[in-house]
Amino acid sequence: MSLMLVNRSPDLSQLRSEGYDLRVRKSAHVMISGVPYVTPEKKVKEGVLFAELDLAGEATAPPKRHVAFFVGECPSRADGTPIEGTTQVNHAVDSELTLNWQLSQTPKNGYGDYHAKIKTYINILLGEAQTIDPTVTAIKNNPVVPDEGESVFKYVDTGPTKAGIYELNCKLELGKVAILGVGGTGAYVLDLVAKTPVKEIHLFDGDIFLNHNAFRSPGAASLEQLTGKPQKVKYLAEMYSHMRHGVIAHDLFIDDASVDRLQDMAFVFLCIDRGKVKRLIVERLEEWGIPFIHVGMGLHLGEEALGGMVTATTSTPGKRNHFRDHVGLKDSDAEDEYSRNIQIADLNMLNAAMAVIKWKKYCRYYNDYGREHYCQYMVDTNGMVNEDAA
């Protein structure tokens, strides 16, 4: 509730974006920790400022009361005398919180929102503290940590709220997304999708993370990690577990025995090369009505430089008939061809971005006027082709 309330309340989200250590308690109090103030002994310490919240549904309403509360010693002026309007209360809000002081400062026109109210009280306390120590500040810029169960992230992405696109971000709260193949392009797909509020990201790949993978994947694997020969999915799941929950490693390739694991996915990214198994997966996803995107890369070595293309082919319940025109579902001669498959990190990254942007269009996060289901980037000409509009 507290994270949603802050995200949907411009006054609270502005305080958070300005760097204050803000949290909303279940008792409907907003608290700002780390506020410098002066004690009666004329020492500078840090306390916690509180204000009761008036709510209108899932957002704040204009404050009805002008008072605020404080936890700490008596807030004083630089000379040690109490700040005007300070009253001792020692009021227990709940088993964990007792408010020590009530602060009362009444502006002529009242407080229009909680940003104005909180900043007024912070500035009063901080102004006295800076008279003694000009270096102190109430702006901490600490990572924002959500309450347990509030978010898939271990620290809050404050960018969408700051930019005013929180509601758009909610469109990406899919239940389960699968990435099949996380060697090059698939690893970059993971990097982008992991930073969205998808509940679960399922990784499918049975390979080991080797030297060449390190040079076309996000991040920087250590020598010790490579020497340990980790499975790709486990290495990547561990990497992204530092920032979020719900990255689930499946140390296997999808085949007849395991394809049913995809049946409850909301979306699938196909980042695999083998045609035979690709046919199996595509047919089942179509049968189950699951949207998916296939990424492809075809590079060749010319006399002096590389050329070729990268593609993203989307298949949705509303448009399937184009897919086989662009994606091969047979194994060619390709055992040798696959072993020499040229992949470069910048093109893996571009290929992943093409796919993820299209996925976000499908989720109505981005405008999609063209509604293309096939996109091709030509390296040689720096040209982009969009085809097969829905």
In terms of domains, do 119 and 262 share one? Answer: no
In terms of domains, do 80 and 174 share one? Answer: no
Residue 141, in any domain of the structure = no
In terms of domains, do 107 and 188 share one? Answer: no
In terms of domains, do 51 and 175 share one? Answer: no
In terms of domains, do 99 and 185 share one? Answer: no
Residue 155, in any domain of the structure = no
Residue 68, in any domain of the structure = yes
pLDDT of residue 334: 47
Domain boundary among the residues 81, 111, 132 is at 132
Residue 273, in any domain of the structure = yes
Residue 103, in any domain of the structure = yes
In terms of domains, do 59 and 176 share one? Answer: no
List the pLDDT tens digit at each of the 390 positions of the chain: 578 899 899 999 999 999 999 999 888 899 999 999 999 999 999 999 999 999 998 899 999 999 999 999 999 999 999 999 999 998 888 778 899 999 999 888 889 999 999 999 999 999 999 999 999 999 999 998 888 888 999 998 888 888 889 899 999 999 999 999 998 999 999 999 999 999 999 999 999 999 999 999 999 999 999 999 999 999 999 999 999 999 999 999 999 999 999 999 999 999 998 778 899 999 999 999 999 999 999 998 888 899 999 999 999 999 999 999 999 888 665 444 444 678 899 999 999 999 999 999 999 999 999 999 999 999 999 999 999 998
Instruction: Give the structural domain span for 17.
Output: 2-132
Residue 148, in any domain of the structure = no
In terms of domains, do 126 and 175 share one? Answer: no
In terms of domains, do 119 and 183 share one? Answer: no
How many domains does one find in the chain?
2
Give yes or no for a contact between 155 and 34, defined as CB atoms under 8 angstroms apart.
Answer: no
pLDDT of residue 340: 60
In terms of domains, do 228 and 115 share one? Answer: no
In terms of domains, do 125 and 181 share one? Answer: no
In terms of domains, do 317 and 268 share one? Answer: yes
Q: Please give, one letter per residue, the 3-state secondary structure of 311-344.
A: EEEEEECCECCCHHHHCCCCCCCHHHHHHCCCCC
pLDDT of residue 384: 95
Residue 159, in any domain of the structure = no
In terms of domains, do 121 and 201 share one? Answer: no
**CATH number, position 340:** 3.40.50.720
Domain boundary among the residues 132, 155, 187 is at 132
Residue 138, in any domain of the structure = no
